[in-house]
Structure 1
Amino acid sequence: MSTTTTTTTHRHALVVGASRGLGLVLVGELARRGWHVTATTRREGGELRAYADASQGRLDIEPLEMTSPEETAALRRRLDGRRLDLLFVNAAIDRGDLPIGEVPTAMFTEVMVTNALSPLRTLEALRDLVVPGGTVAVMSSEQGSVSRNTEDGYELYKASKAALNQLMRSYATRHRGDAHTKLLIDPGHNRTRLGGPDAPLIPEESIPAVVDVLESQAGAPGLRFLDRHGETVPW
């Protein structure tokens, strides 16, 4: 495989966190566009397995508990020799709408480890598989924008996404010379288990737009925080 971004039929994506919701739809959209996709999941089976069985070899599945450094290291060993045009980390949890003074320490730690620390540890462990000109991306949220935090609610989730954004900024600074496109993606408020049943968007409509952004930004230098329309989200 070439060490630069290749034609669509030969591009390879690794999507971390793909068993359901936005990650599952992202995997399906990439495969539909002709990408070869490796998708990680904590639990085998379900819709992701059905996608893989119907993909005509364009989708394979790897087990991963992203919060485990040992499992991440094992995944890196299994993928040795692969070359990725896209590494996309999609993972987040929400533990409800508590004011920060009522958040138990264990809950704070769980959300921060899952939403901020683990995505960046995963990037660090797998980034050397990404080809020059390839893309390293993380699913973020407008909720992580400090300047747009003008409404009450979901303080812990917002803080975790702001921490994710800040850590990604540090990552981009440290690896500024690696020739990778770096993206934080805000997919909008979608009807998923995390987003809730009353969210205004559905993943089947928003994720194709996200993939349009990923494809159009490929090869662009530096870090950008973009929404599904390719517009800049303020920090």
Structure 2
Amino acid sequence: MSDMSYRRALVLGASRGLGLVLANELARRDWHVIATTRQRGGQLQADAEAWHGRLTIESLELTSPDQLAALRERLDGTRLDLLFVNAAIDRGNLPIGAVSTEMFTEVMITNTLSPLRALEALRELVAPGGTVAVMSSEQGSISRNTEDGFELYKASKAALNQLMRSYATRYAEDGQTKLLIDPGHNRTRLGGSDAPLAAEDSIPSVVDVLEKQAGAAGLQFLDRHGEIVPW
């Protein structure tokens, strides 16, 4: 990892919800943050202006390989201490028999394929000793899948975890910390208004975990308290 006085993070998917709070929490802790959004403006733009250069914005549609390649080119020469991918959609609580092929494809591309494709495209920007992390969910834990509901979302997160395991195996010798993070059930557009947690309360704990685990070897699936989530 580089000099602790100048730590740089790239947060993919920071326009709202957990990603937005994460980008701001990192900036509050003196990280220099590059945050991506599909469309400029909104709260992320206002926050970037308030941070006076500590938080900058890049445009990215995460599901677009061409846009990922363009972002990689724009960031050429940038050294990251943290690459964090935050991406998820949910298309409702349907039994798998009611899920159309189009819906299945959309959710799997957004929640599973695109985050790992982003890591593959951008991993070389991460310094040795730096961290690559993906926002996962306890919903992706097979052993904890003991209640019915949200089958497609659960499957997408379980598949994400499996692909991250393959990624970690392929790049086991690159010196980078690899994390899957379960932030808990938060009141976001995805989590719903009845969720028990506020992102402003849970995300600081997530950043504590990211900072504490920096330099750790191997892949870990951890919750916001740094406890292991079973596969």
**Into which bin does the TM-score normalised by the smaller protein fall?**
over 0.9
Distance in 2, matches of 1:57 and 1:78, equals 17
2:12 is matched with which residue?
A: 16
The corresponding residue for 1:227 is: 223
1:200 equivalent to 2:206? Answer no
- Counterpart among 84, 87, 92 of residue 88 in structure 2: 92
Q: In structure 2, the residue corresponding to 1:162 is in which secondary structure? A: helix
Corresponding residue for 1:151?
147
Partner residue in 2 for 1:162: 158
TM alignment of 1:7-46, pairs within 5 A: 7=4, 9-46=5-42
How far does residue 40 in structure 1 lie from its aligned partner after superposition?
A: 0.3
Q: Distance in 1 between matches of 2:191 and 2:14?
A: 16
How many residues are matched?
231
**Aligned with 2:215: secondary structure?**
coil
Structure 1 residue 6, shift from structure 2 partner: 2.1
For 2:164 and 2:61, how far apart are their aligned partners in 1?
20
Deviations 1:23-69 (A, max 9, x none): 00000000000000000000100000011000021010000000000
One-letter code aligned to 1:51 = D
What's the secondary structure of 1:119's corresponding residue? helix
In the TM superposition, residue 206 of structure 1 has moved relative to its aligned partner by: 0.1
1:66 maps onto 2:77 in alignment = no
Deviations 1:182-207 (A, max 9, x none): 00000000000000000000000000
Aligned pair 1:111/2:104, yes or no? no
Instruction: Name the SS for the 1:87 alignment partner.
Output: strand
The reply on whether 1:132 has 2:128 as its aligned counterpart is yes
Per-residue CA distance 1:64-115 (angstroms, 9 max, x = gap) = 0000000000000000000000000000000000000010000000000000
Distance in 1 (alpha carbons) for counterparts of 2:94 and 2:12: 28
Give the TM-score of the pair, scaled to structure 2.
0.99
When the two structures are superposed, what TM-score results if normalisation uses the length of structure 1? 0.98
Equivalent residue in structure 2 for 1:5, among 2, 17, 42 = 2
CA–CA distance in 1 between the matches of 2:23 and 2:65?
23
Q: What amino acid is the match of 1:43?
A: Q
RMSD: 0.5
- CA–CA separation in structure 1 for the residues paired with 2:52 and 2:217: 34
Divergent runs of 4+, >6 A: none
Look up the SS of the partner of 1:185 in the other structure. strand
Q: Name the structure 2 match of 1:181.
A: 177
Task: Indicate the SS of the match to 1:73.
Answer: helix
Q: Would you say 1:172 and 2:168 are equivalent positions?
A: yes
Identity, in percent, stands at 77
Unaligned runs of 5+ in 1: none
SS in 1 for 2:39: coil
List alignment gaps of at least 5 residues for structure 2: none
